[in-house]
Structure 1
Amino acid sequence: MIEWRDEGPLIAVRKHGETSVIIEVFTAEHGRHAGVVRGGTSRKVSASLQPGTQIEITWKARLEDHLGSITVEPQRSRAAQVMQDRVALAGLNAVCAILSFSLPEREPHPALYARTVALLDLLGQGDVWPLAYLQWEMALLDELGFGLDLSACAVTGTNADLCFVSPRTGRAVSRENAGPWVDRLLPLSPALIGRDITDENILQGLKTTGHFFENHLAPSLGDRKFPASRARLLDALNRQP
């Protein structure tokens, strides 16, 4: 019998049989990991199996490659942070869905894990959360091999007047060197490089990162559509006063 303990935010739950559920947890040391929670549909257990809840788990299986069973000990709920906040709720759903969609199973990502827990703990803090979320998306793309290189122009190597991003390579392009390709390039929002942080620039930055999710990351994972919860988050951010 193989057994280990770890913790992390719960990112997905689906029914399994009559009384059990399969959960996915983004754990600190074991990456995105799934397992069966026996009796997970009961009122007592299901109350602690809400997306975003920080849980400690004990995973057991006869062999390493088995699905395994999980027992859960809740550490802290994040429900209060999102209950009355439409943007926070949309953000929580988007983060969980994107992690479940994107992360390879059972592959540790300690730096991304730490950033994710910090991001989830900021839910409901509308003055800082949108920028933190944009930076999290950039970190996720980088972690999975689709990172943006915005440090210098892809054509000249200089860092002056960088205004665009190549939709193919993710590298920055200066205004002077955009040339006839300008209509095909993505905007380099100042928020992507930590400057001029406004709601408008954050949304523009999210449109650029969204291109790499939709056109680079998602195709690399097969014939799967990127989670619609991200589009709902952008809509919520657009609508906030």
Structure 2
Amino acid sequence: MDWRDHGILLSVRRHGETSAIIEVFTEGHGRHAGVVRGGTSRKAAPVLQPGSQLDVEWRARLEDHIGTFRVEPLRSRAAAAMSGRLALSGLNAVCALLGFALGERETHPALYTRTERLLDLLGQDEVWPLAYLKWELALLEELGFGLDLSRCAATGVNDELIYVSPKSGRAVSRHGAGEWADRMLPLPAFLRDEGPATDEAISEGFRLSGHFLENRLAPALGHKPLPEARARFVEAFQRTL
């Protein structure tokens, strides 16, 4: 069995004396692991950095074996990731959430393309938080937990949508919320293209996406705790407010 693809390196761990096991998110083969011979060498270490874009060739005797990777670098994002705390924590959050959320060898080509574009914005702190928030919402959508912000879940109207139901993920209007308003999640107006995406509004957006990552996605994956890298990124962003 063998195939060739391009992908984003998610994680690296030592395997034996000189090898490494890497996990990549590829366009055509999903999240996939394999052994890189000599992966701990001085030559390989700069290539095998989370976030790097790689050309990978996977080989195994049988499809269900872990197999081995031959890797060639396509694009390093190390310099961008090290440009500041926000960039590094953002990269770590993306890699950790993908490793957490995606089923092994399940393909998600649209999400792959979106992730590649997001990582190309690393180091651009003025646009990264908003792009990352929209990526989290796209991740939820891809995995079947997307938000429906088109109209009020209670009344069917599409104006004054200022809340989201914490259970259904559907928008709720001011009138529709009624006495349950204090139990609703605030809906930042910019997510409906009705207001500016200020830093404070983006922070509110992280509260929204975080709720559904923790209370809808994580339980579906066996109640695994969300990666701490996600919380560290949100904290790093909030320190800039």
- TM-score, L = length of structure 2: 0.97
Equivalent residue letter for 2:165: S
* Alignment gaps of 5+ in structure 2: none
Could you say what secondary structure the match of 1:153 adopts?
Answer: coil
Counterpart in 2 of 1:63?
Answer: 62
* AA in 1 matched with 2:213: F
Q: How many angstroms does 1:107 deviate by?
A: 1.0
Q: What do residues 81-135 of structure 1 show as CA deviations (whole Å, max 9, x unaligned)?
A: 1212110111000000000000111111111011000000001111211111111
Aligned partner of 2:184 in structure 1 is: 185
* Alpha-carbon distance in structure 2 between the residues aligned to 1:35 and 1:159: 48
Whole-angstrom distance in 2 between the partners of 1:224 and 1:70: 28
Deviation, structure 1 residue 38: 1.2
- The alignment covers a number of residue pairs equal to 240
Aligned-pair CA distance for 1:171: 0.2
Q: Does 1:221 align with 2:224?
A: no
Query: Retained in 2: the 8 A contact 1:10–1:26?
Result: yes
Partner of 1:130: 129
Is 1:9 the equivalent of 2:3?
no
Q: CA deviation at 1:193?
A: 2.4
Deviations 1:170-204 (A, max 9, x none): 00000111112111111111232233210000110
Counterparts of 1:14-163 in structure 2, within 5 Å, are 14-163=13-162
1:153 CA drift (Å): 0.4
Deviating beyond 3 angstroms after TM superposition, the runs of 4 or more aligned structure 1 residues are: none
Q: Secondary structure at the match of 2:157?
A: coil
* Cα distance in 2, alignment partners of residues 124 and 64 from structure 1: 38
Aligned to 1:238: 238
Does the aligned pair in 2 maintain the 1:191–1:205 contact within 8 Å? no
Q: Report the 3-state secondary structure (helix = DSSP H, G, I; strand = E; otherwise coil) of the residue aligned with 1:14.
A: strand
Q: C-alpha distance in 2, partners of 1:20/1:187?
A: 48
Give the TM-score normalised by structure 1: 0.97
Counterpart code for 1:234: V
Q: Secondary structure at the match of 1:45?
A: coil
What residue identity is the alignment partner of 1:204?
E
Q: How big is the shift at 1:156? A: 1.4
Q: What is the SS of the residue equivalent to 2:59?
A: strand
Contact 1:20-1:38 at 8 Å conserved across structures? yes
Long gaps (5+) in structure 1: none
CA distance in 2, matches of 1:230, 1:192: 20
> What displacement does 1:3 show?
0.8
Contact kept in structure 2, 1:11 and 1:100, CA below 8 Å: yes
Q: Distance in 2 between matches of 1:196 and 1:149?
A: 20
Letter of the 2:94 partner, please give it: V
